[in-house]
Amino acid sequence: MHRYTPDPPAHAPPPSQIASTSGGWGANDRPGAYGSSYTSGSDSGKTPRELEVERREAAVRMREEALQRREADLAYLKPNWPKFRPMVYHDIDKDIPESGRWLVKRVYGSWWLALITYIVNCVAGFSCLVTKAEQGGSQFGVALIVMAVGIPVSFVFWYRPLYQGVKLDRSLSFFFYFFNFACHLAIMALFAVGVPGWGGSGVIITIAQLGNNVGSGVICAIATGLLIFQCVYGLWQIKAATAYYRSKGLSVDQARNEAITGVAKTQVGRDLAAEALKSQVAGRV
């Protein structure tokens, strides 16, 4: 007589499968034990303070690297200006918001006016040298140096900051523009006076040259007119830029924060931030 043994349910997995799906836990096993032993092994010998500092530094580095990659992707555009030797990207219609396009075009025209003024003033200084005017040599020498330096410096130090300020609504760039453009206008005003030997073929030089050589006097008169017009037109542009700056809600506090952020992106700034973070964590632990 055979003893009846019920068959196991069809849906029940075999014991080997149960052991494999359970992870083969033994007497000392529990969920998460593998991860815990791995973490403790990798961080052995470090204090909680050191682990916290490393974690925060890694998070800061990851954020900085992500920000730098994003800025690099957005910032790089193929240079297209000047046409004969492209060095920078410059496209007012595509790069500048419509609300500020008029201002950038005005100041761009002011830069071209400055370029023409530098050249004409240098030609006037050369005419003083040729006609043997008082201190004609130093007059032409200073005018030549100012022209060679002033043209690229004016583009980089006051036109370009305004371009970037309008493009990105960056308060600090506007402050660079205001300061550097004011210095440029001060030089133009000094040249318009026309002190002999100072490089500017202004009023005093023009009056003297009209009595010495009419042709040179006419060239100096043209230079004087351009210098005076540059000052008047420049003051108008500062007024327009100030009105635009205020209409965008930009402020001195925002410029200060942008300056701090810029310093923080440098290697020195990152080192100082890391030291400050370590001191802060050490004070809490």
pLDDT tens readout for residues 26-43: 444 444 444 444 444 445
Q: Return the C-alpha torsion angle 193, 199, 205, 206, nearest 10.
A: -90
pLDDT at residue 126, as a whole number = 97
105 within a domain of the structure (yes/no): yes
- For residue 230, the surrounding DSSP H or E stretch is helix 214-247
Q: At 134, is the pLDDT very low, low, confident or very high (cuts 50, 70, 90)? A: confident
pLDDT at residue 63, as a whole number = 76
129 within a domain of the structure (yes/no): yes
> Which of 66-70, 140-144, 174-178 has the weakest average pLDDT?
66-70
Take residue 26 and report the two structure tokens written for it. 């033994």
pLDDT at residue 20, as a whole number = 43
> Which of 42-51, 60-69, 112-121, 199-208 has the weakest average pLDDT?
42-51
Compute the average pLDDT of residues 120-149: 95
CA distance 165 to 234: 18
pLDDT at residue 183, as a whole number = 97
Across the chain, mean pLDDT equals 82
pLDDT at residue 247, as a whole number = 94
Residue 266 has pLDDT above 90, yes or no: no
Residue 13 has pLDDT above 80, yes or no: no
pLDDT at residue 15, as a whole number = 47
CA distance 233 to 254: 28
213 within a domain of the structure (yes/no): yes
Q: Residue 18 corresponds to which amino acid?
A: I
Domain residue limits at 189? 100-250
pLDDT at residue 180, as a whole number = 97
Task: Convert the pLDDT of each residue in 201-237 to its tens digit.
Answer: 999 999 999 999 999 999 999 999 999 999 999 999 9
- Say what percent of the chain tops pLDDT 70: 73
pLDDT at residue 22, as a whole number = 43
Compute the average pLDDT of residues 149-171: 96
27 within a domain of the structure (yes/no): no
Compute the average pLDDT of residues 260-272: 62
Which among 47, 45, 49, 54 is positioned nearest to 283, based on CA atoms? 49
Which one has a higher pLDDT value, 263 or 89? Answer: 89
- Our count of domains for the chain comes to 1
113 within a domain of the structure (yes/no): yes
Compute the average pLDDT of residues 64-86: 76
196: preceding bond cis by omega (within 30 degrees): no
11 within a domain of the structure (yes/no): no
Q: Residue 239 corresponds to which amino acid?
A: K
- Say what percent of the chain tops pLDDT 90: 57
pLDDT at residue 157, as a whole number = 97
Take residue 274 and report the two structure tokens written for it. 């890391």
Q: Identify which of 22-26, 35-39, 46-50, 129-133 has the greatest average pLDDT.
A: 129-133
